[in-house]
Structure 1
Amino acid sequence: MINLTERHQHIINKLQQKGQVAVIDLCDELRVSSVTIRKDLKLLEDKGLLFRTHGGATQYNPYTIDLPVNEKENLQASEKNRIALAAAGLIEPNDSILIASGTTVLALAKLIQPSLLKNLTVITSALNVALELLHHPEVEVIQLGGILRRSSSSVTGPYAESVLADFSCSKLFLGVDGIDLEFGLTTTNVMEAHLNRQMINISQKAIVLADSSKFGKRGFGKICGFDEIDQIITDKGISDHTFKSLQGMGVKVTIV
C-alpha cells in the first residue's frame, strides 16, 4: 500500500502539472478513502504547499483581495486591452449599454468609437468610465449615484439599485474579481455584488470581461451563477477544462 509520503508527493506532482486537484480523482488514483485524502490536503495546506477548495485543492490562493484600481490597471494590461477590443466590437448603433466597474471595462470605455455608433447611451456605476466617455459629446452618459467605493472609483448601494429599476439595457459589460466553476462569479465587495445582480436583471445580454488570472478565484460577494450570463471574453491563459466546462453550461466563451 502506498505510504503517506508517497501520497503527498503524488498530490504535489499533480498540482504542479495541472494547478488543481479533485478529491474524487485522488481517491481513484491512490485507492484510498476521501477521508484520507482530505486529511492529506489539510496537512499539506498547514505546510503552505496548497490551498484547499470545495472538493479539492489548488496551487494558488483562490481568494481575491481588494486592490486599488490604479494598481489593478497595470496587471495583465495587454490581455485586458485585447479583451476590451473584442468587447467594443459588440457595441452597435442605438445600443443602451451598462458598463460596471473595473479596469477591464475601463479599457473598453477607452476603445469605444462614438463616431461609428449612432444614438449610444451608456449607464455606468464607475466614475472613471463616465469621465472617459465625457470626452464624447455624442454619447449620452448616465452616471449612477450612491455610496462611493474609493478602491474602485465606483458607486454601490440601494440608491444606485433603485435608479436601475427604471431602465432596460441591451447589453451589460461586467468586470469581476473571481470566476469559480463551482461557486460562480464574484467580487470583493458584497454591495457591489448586489448592484451587479441588478444590472444583470435589467440587461438583455450579460457579457463578462475577465482575464485568465480571474479563473479559479473567489471574492467575498457572489454576483451570480453561470446560468445568468451569456458570454465571457477572456484570454488564452484559461485551461481547456475551464473552457469546455463553461461551454457545457451554455456560456459562450470568446478567447482573444
Structure 2
Amino acid sequence: MKRHQLILQRLQEQKHVEVPDLCEALNVSAVTIRKDLRLLEEKGLLFRTHGGAALENPYIKDRPVNEKERLNVEEKLGIAHAAAQLLGAQEAVIMASGTTLVALARAIPPHLPLTVITSALNVGLELVQRPEIEVMQLGGYLRHSSSSVTGPHAEQVLADVSCSKLFLGVDGLDLDFGLTTTNISEARLNQAMMRAAQETIVLADSSKFGKRGFGRICGLDQIHRVITDKGIADQDAKRLEEQGIALTIV
C-alpha cells in the first residue's frame, strides 16, 4: 500500500514519527494511521510508541559500560569537546555518569582549575590525574554496569552543595516523556544533582532521541541546554528550540 510506503519512508528519514504529523501529511484520520502502524508493527517494520512509531525499539535495556564505550565514539568525542568549552576557571560543576561524561573528563582544557563532583568512578579516575582539579567522589552503591554510584548517601551530600552546572548523560531522550535512564536509583540521584545545579546541560548523541529507559529523570522543561550530533532529526531540533532549550549540534 502506498500509504504504508510513505510512512516507512518518513520513518527512515526521521527515526520516529507522530500520529498527528502523519494525519496531516497523508490526509487521513488518526484511527486510520493507528491501524496502519499496528499492521506495520505486526510485520516487524517498526515499533509503535505512545502517539507514534519508531524505527528502533524505543525501550532501552541496561548495557555494560565497556559495551557502551564502543558505540557512537566520534559523536561522543565531538559532544564532549563542545561541552568542555562551557567550563570556566574556578567553577564548581557536577558530572554525572556515562561514557560521554568520561569523554568530557578527558576533554577538559589543560590547567583549568575546577571543582568537580561526580558519581562516576571512571570519571573520577580520569580527573584524579589533574592536580588543578579538585574532585569530590560521591559514595554509595556501585553499579557494576555503569561504574557509578547511587543511593541516599550520594543524595545527602548533594543536598548540601551548590554548583553552577550539571553535565548529564542519559539513556533516552523522548520529547514527550522526557529524560530517562535504565535504573530508577540513578534517576533519583540525577534529580538530586539537578537540584544542586543552576544549569542542567544534557550530553546525548542522536541515537538517544526517541528512546525511553525505565527510570524517568525529568521533563524537558527542567533542562537548559542539549548538546548532540548532526544525526538529530530536524523535527526534534525544532521542538527543543521551541521549548526554549539551547541546542548545540556538533
TM interval, shorter chain, is: over 0.9
- Specify the alignment match of 1:26 in structure 2: 22
1:64 aligns with 2:38: no
Offset of 1:41 from its aligned partner? Answer: 1.4
- Specify the alignment match of 1:98 in structure 2: 94
Q: TM-score scaled by structure 1?
A: 0.92
Unaligned stretches of 5+ in structure 1?
Answer: none
- Specify the alignment match of 1:179 in structure 2: 173
- Specify the alignment match of 2:121 in structure 1: 127
Tell me, in whole angstroms, the C-alpha distance in 2 between the residues paired with 1:144 and 1:25: 44
Give the letter aligned to residue 216 of structure 1: G
For structure 1, which segment, 8-17 or 83-92, has the greater mean C-alpha deviation from structure 2 after superposition? 8-17
Q: Are the equivalent residues in 1 in contact too, given 2:14–2:233 (CA < 8 A)? A: no
3-state SS in 1 of match to 2:163:
coil
Gap change, CA 1:32 and 1:114, over 3 Å in 2? closer
1:47 aligns with 2:43: yes
- Specify the alignment match of 2:223 in structure 1: 229
Gap change, CA 1:27 and 1:207, over 3 Å in 2? closer
Q: TM-score scaled by structure 2?
A: 0.94
Q: For residues 176-217 of structure 1, what are the alpha-carbon distances to aligned partners after superposition, in whole Å with 9 as ceiling and x for unaligned?
A: 111111111111111101110110111011111111111111
- Specify the alignment match of 1:11 in structure 2: 7
Tell me, in whole angstroms, the C-alpha distance in 2 between the residues paired with 1:219 and 1:251: 22
Tell me, in whole angstroms, the C-alpha distance in 2 between the residues paired with 1:22 and 1:113: 41
Give the letter aligned to residue 62 of structure 1: P
From the CA coordinates, give the structure whose radius of gyration is larger.
1
1:204 aligns with 2:202: no
For structure 1, which segment, 80-89 or 7-16, has the greater mean C-alpha deviation from structure 2 after superposition? 7-16
Gap change, CA 1:237 and 1:26, over 3 Å in 2? closer
Give the letter aligned to residue 63 of structure 1: Y
Offset of 1:11 from its aligned partner? Answer: 2.6
Q: Are the equivalent residues in 1 in contact too, given 2:226–2:248 (CA < 8 A)? A: yes
3-state SS in 1 of match to 2:180:
strand
Equivalent position to 1:89, from 75, 80, 85: 85
Tell me, in whole angstroms, the C-alpha distance in 1 between the residues paired with 2:85 and 2:9: 42
Offset of 1:72 from its aligned partner? Answer: 0.7
Tell me, in whole angstroms, the C-alpha distance in 2 between the residues paired with 1:181 and 1:209: 15
Give the letter aligned to residue 207 of structure 1: I
Equivalent position to 1:239, from 212, 228, 233: 233
Unaligned stretches of 5+ in structure 2?
Answer: none
Tell me, in whole angstroms, the C-alpha distance in 2 between the residues paired with 1:89 and 1:173: 12
Q: For residues 79-106 of structure 1, what are the alpha-carbon distances to aligned partners after superposition, in whole Å with 9 as ceiling and x for unaligned?
A: 1111111111111111011000000010
Tell me, in whole angstroms, the C-alpha distance in 1 between the residues paired with 2:25 and 2:228: 33
Tell me, in whole angstroms, the C-alpha distance in 1 between the residues paired with 2:225 and 2:141: 29
Equivalent position to 1:143, from 123, 137, 155: 137
Q: Are the equivalent residues in 2 in contact too, given 1:50–1:59 (CA < 8 A)? A: yes
3-state SS in 2 of match to 1:245:
helix
Q: Are the equivalent residues in 1 in contact too, given 2:15–2:233 (CA < 8 A)? A: no
Percent pairwise identity: 64
3-state SS in 1 of match to 2:36:
helix
Q: Are the equivalent residues in 1 in contact too, given 2:173–2:210 (CA < 8 A)? A: yes
Offset of 1:16 from its aligned partner? Answer: 3.1
Q: For residues 14-41 of structure 1, what are the alpha-carbon distances to aligned partners after superposition, in whole Å with 9 as ceiling and x for unaligned?
A: 3234333322233345454322322221
